[in-house]
């Protein structure tokens, strides 16, 4: 096939979407693979067949890759892995920025989790989760862990899962009971039903997790990770995401988990601010993954308010990044990368000032690695996504490199981390399917979405 204009090319992609042998060649642009063996290309190609990447190289057309392929010209653009969000409370999305100046965790907990969460109906769960997932796709996040901690009924959980399915994102539904208010007390027993109903194939876009908290400080002992919840996860063969991991009490909990043998590589600990050296050593020895929330830690002020990247790296853990709560924070991964890069380098320079010391500074490639490869590892999907490697799923972005805020392209990684933002994301592919094309979400009626989101927001707030 020959190269089509953008609109016609989008129609061709849509018309051939169900063909498992369809080939798509992205050619002529910079390629950032995030794989140290393959490396990056100032001008390179990525070949997709069906859902997977089958080749990456400098000029695949010379080897016949263009034969019978849909050709996408990526000249003046960057092809990169999709971003991976390791922790977002997606159901809250229709309340985004409702409390931009939240002062601390307690204020968020009482306002949102105690005051508003009990008012959510299944339809509101669906709308919030769908909005969060579409926003993620629009900004280049191809994989998102939804820490769904408002599972009041089985219907609430089903609605959140259906929203992820309907958007086409690569999603992880991490299920947790509510913190406060009335609920059907179906969790964690309902996890088996969820797995049997919604998660029947290893090849599907969605996976299931158990979600819980580190200690009993926020919502009581029933939500604190321990041997009972570890047994549930083990029996159902589920990974575990643990939120609110910070301070001395979480540090002691981590050592307790190590002592009884339930600290392992199938756990993701979230935030991890203010932990002791002993806790970090235990996490590093166990192979535990970590999800940092840079803007959340700093802006809301969680424990030390400093994202724990240096502590993680010292323990041998390369962390993933996450968005957390949109009620007070930004929705995109560009913000998380820049926030973390600025804070860590600021602290390194400040520590060295007047001392002659030279603390190590992280780099733009480091934070891009955290936002892609390490995010995929934290989500238990490092073998599936996170880098552009033959055999992995075709989860990738096309970023405009010659827009006014990016031109001229001098360094692709630097441009992604320090120059680009969601407006520059020209296209997003998940499992080889275009979910954003020509800078617009595919098959999304924005007027209908706006009406749905506004109606849900208004209903919930009116019920207070």
**Residue partners of 435: CB distance under 8 A and separation at least 6:** 137, 142, 167, 168, 169, 428, 429, 441, 442
Q: Which residue has the higher pLDDT, 5 or 267?
A: 267
Judged against a pLDDT cut of 60, whether residue 362 lies above it is answered with yes
Judged against a pLDDT cut of 60, whether residue 4 lies above it is answered with no
What are 273-320's pLDDT values in tens digits? Answer: 999 999 999 999 999 999 999 999 999 999 999 999 999 999 999 999
Tokens of 48: 């997709």
In angstroms, what CA-CA distances link 152 with 161, 235, 365? 14, 23, 41
Judged against a pLDDT cut of 90, whether residue 219 lies above it is answered with no
In angstroms, what CA-CA distances link 271 with 92, 180, 214, 289, 398? 19, 22, 11, 11, 30
What is the model's pLDDT at position 304?
A: 94
**Residue partners of 66: CB distance under 8 A and separation at least 6:** 25, 27, 60
Q: Which DSSP helix (H) or strand (E) runs through 297?
A: none
What's CA 129's distance to the chain center, in Å?
A: 13
Identify which of 406, 405, 403, 396 has the alpha carbon closest to the alpha carbon of residue 437. Answer: 396
Q: How confident is the model at residue 356 (pLDDT cuts 50, 70, 90)?
A: confident
For 423-443, what is the mean pLDDT? 98
Tokens of 78: 């960057």
For 341-349, what is the mean pLDDT? 96
What is the model's pLDDT at position 309?
A: 98
Domain range summary for the chain, segments of one domain joined by +: 6-81+388-441, 83-378
Judged against a pLDDT cut of 80, whether residue 354 lies above it is answered with yes
For 114-138, what is the mean pLDDT? 98
CATH class of 83-378: alpha beta
What is the model's pLDDT at position 241?
A: 98
Q: Domain 6-81+388-441 is of which CATH architecture?
A: Roll (2.30)
Check if the beta carbon of residue 122 is closer than 8 Å to that of residue 148. Answer: no
Cα dihedral across residues 122, 140, 101, 370: positive or negative: positive
What are 222-257's pLDDT values in tens digits? Answer: 999 999 999 999 999 999 999 999 999 999 999 999
Check if the beta carbon of residue 426 is closer than 8 Å to that of residue 77. Answer: yes
Check if the beta carbon of residue 83 is closer than 8 Å to that of residue 333. Answer: yes
For 7-36, what is the mean pLDDT? 94
CA distance 456 to 98: 14
Q: What residue ranges in 330-417 does DSSP mark as E strands?
A: 396-400
Tokens of 268: 């993701």
In angstroms, what CA-CA distances link 20 with 130, 153, 360, 433? 26, 37, 46, 11
Identify which of 363, 360, 324, 359 has the alpha carbon closest to the alpha carbon of residue 340. Answer: 363
CA distance 51 to 394: 6
For 104-111, what is the mean pLDDT? 94
Q: Which DSSP helix (H) or strand (E) runs through 448?
A: helix 446-462
For 309-338, what is the mean pLDDT? 98
In angstroms, what CA-CA distances link 45 with 23, 28, 77, 287, 322? 13, 6, 12, 35, 29
For 7-24, what is the mean pLDDT? 92
Question: What value does the mean pLDDT of the chain take?
Answer: 96
What is the model's pLDDT at position 2?
A: 45
The percentage of the chain sitting over the pLDDT mark of 70, rounded to a whole number, equals 99
């Amino acid at each position: 096939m020959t190269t089509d204009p953008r609109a016609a090319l989008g129609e061709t992609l849509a018309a051939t979407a169900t063909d498992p042998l369809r080939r798509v060649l992205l050619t002529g642009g910079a390629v950032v693979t995030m794989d140290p063996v393959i490396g990056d290309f100032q001008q390179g190609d990525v070949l997709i067949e069906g859902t997977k990447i089958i080749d990456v190289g400098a000029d695949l057309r010379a080897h016949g890759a263009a034969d019978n392929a849909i050709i996408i010209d990526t000249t003046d653009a960057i092809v990169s892995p999709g971003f991976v969000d390791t922790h977002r409370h997606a159901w809250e999305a229709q309340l985004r920025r409702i409390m931009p100046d939240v002062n601390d965790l307690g204020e968020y907990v009482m306002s949102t989790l105690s005051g508003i969460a009990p008012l959510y109906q299944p339809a509101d769960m669906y709308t919030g989760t769908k909005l969060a997932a579409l926003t993620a796709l629009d900004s280049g996040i191809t994989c998102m862990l939804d820490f769904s901690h408002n599972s009041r009924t089985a219907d609430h959980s089903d609605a959140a899962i259906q929203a992820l399915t309907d958007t086409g994102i690569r999603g992880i539904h991490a299920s947790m009971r509510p913190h406060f208010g009335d609920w059907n007390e179906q969790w964690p027993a309902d996890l088996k039903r969820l797995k049997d109903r919604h998660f029947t194939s290893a090849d599907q876009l969605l996976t299931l997790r158990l979600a819980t908290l580190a200690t009993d400080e926020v919502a009581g002992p029933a939500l604190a990770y321990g041997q009972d919840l570890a047994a549930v996860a083990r029996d159902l063969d589920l990974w575990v995401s643990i939120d609110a991991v910070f301070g001395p009490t979480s540090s002691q909990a981590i050592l307790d988990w190590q002592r009884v043998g339930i600290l392992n590589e199938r756990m993701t600990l979230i935030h991890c601010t203010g932990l002791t050296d002993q806790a970090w050593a235990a996490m590093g020895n166990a192979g535990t993954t970590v999800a940092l929330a840079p803007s959340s830690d700093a802006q809301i002020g969680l424990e030390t308010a400093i994202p724990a990247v240096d502590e993680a790296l010292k323990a041998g853990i390369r962390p993933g990044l996450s968005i957390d709560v949109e009620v007070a924070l930004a929705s995109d991964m560009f913000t998380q990368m820049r926030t973390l890069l600025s804070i860590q380098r600021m602290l390194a320079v400040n520590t060295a000032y007047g001392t002659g010391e030279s603390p190590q500074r992280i780099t733009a490639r480091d934070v891009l690695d955290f936002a892609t490869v390490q995010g995929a590892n934290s989500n238990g999907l490092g073998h599936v996504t996170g880098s552009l490697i033959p055999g992995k799923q075709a989860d990738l972005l096309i970023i405009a490199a010659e827009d006014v805020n990016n031109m001229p392209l001098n360094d692709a990684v630097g441009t992604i981390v320090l120059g680009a933002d969601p407006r520059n994301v020209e296209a997003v592919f998940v499992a080889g399917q275009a979910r954003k094309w020509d800078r617009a979400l595919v098959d999304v009626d924005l007027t209908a979405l706006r009406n749905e989101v506004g109606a849900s927001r208004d209903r919930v707030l009116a019920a207070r």
